[in-house]
Amino acid sequence: MALNQKTSLYRNGGKRLFDFVASGLGLIVLSPLLVLLWLVGLVNFGSPVIFRQRRPGKNNKIFYMIKFRSMTNKTGPDGQLLPDAERLTKYGKFLRASSLDELPELWNVFIGNMSLVGPRPLLERYLERYSPEQKRRHEASPGITGWAQMNGRNAIGWSEKFALDVWYVDNVSFALDLQILWMTAMKVVRRSGISAEGSATMHEFMGSEDTSNSSS
């Protein structure tokens, strides 16, 4: 079988099957850890433990992405939420540095809203700010990890990140996904590229000309 035929099979069903089986096994194997993190989160943040937010997925379809909470809901005198850096707790920093806050996204993968590997799902309001080329990142299902995360994660600018996302969309294959998953495991161990420079979490993407550092 030719390589392009194998790639086509993976794109048109194989990738979803791999995601379904791997995420299902992951949820079963990691269930004790998920329960433990839920309990610790309950002690640290109270209820709810899960952060739930609308994100655009494949073909711009909106879904609710879930993660473990890493920030409090503290507000200032004006009633508005304090900056991320002031709401991110030590435990929250640990969750982000270890990527344990991402584990609930295995459920998103299991039910088909996300993939193990793909462009990270960003904020819904960014949809109207992409250039036509950047919008192509939504031709694939969003991922827990991705090619951009393995080539700078939050330490690179938006334009570079989106270029890497589009490259992945054009080159997706089983071998590439396995490579990205292995690289992800190594980056988690080293805890590299967690935050953008000068920011506890992220700089907002303001438009297709924005070159500031990014986060997800």
Q: Is 152 exposed, middle or buried (0-12, 13-18, 19+ CB in 10 A)?
A: middle
Q: Is 88 a residue whose pLDDT tops 50?
A: yes
pLDDT score at 8? 83
Q: Is 199 a residue whose pLDDT tops 50?
A: no
Mean per-residue pLDDT over the chain, rounded: 87
Which is more confident, 85 or 158?
A: 158
pTM for the predicted model, two decimal places: 0.85
Give CA separation, 13 vs 4, 6, 8, 64, 121, in Å: 14, 11, 9, 23, 21
Per-residue pLDDT reduced to its tens digit, 90-134:
999 899 888 899 999 999 999 999 999 999 999 999 999 999 999
pLDDT score at 54? 96
CB 147 within 8 A of CB 182: no
pLDDT score at 76? 84
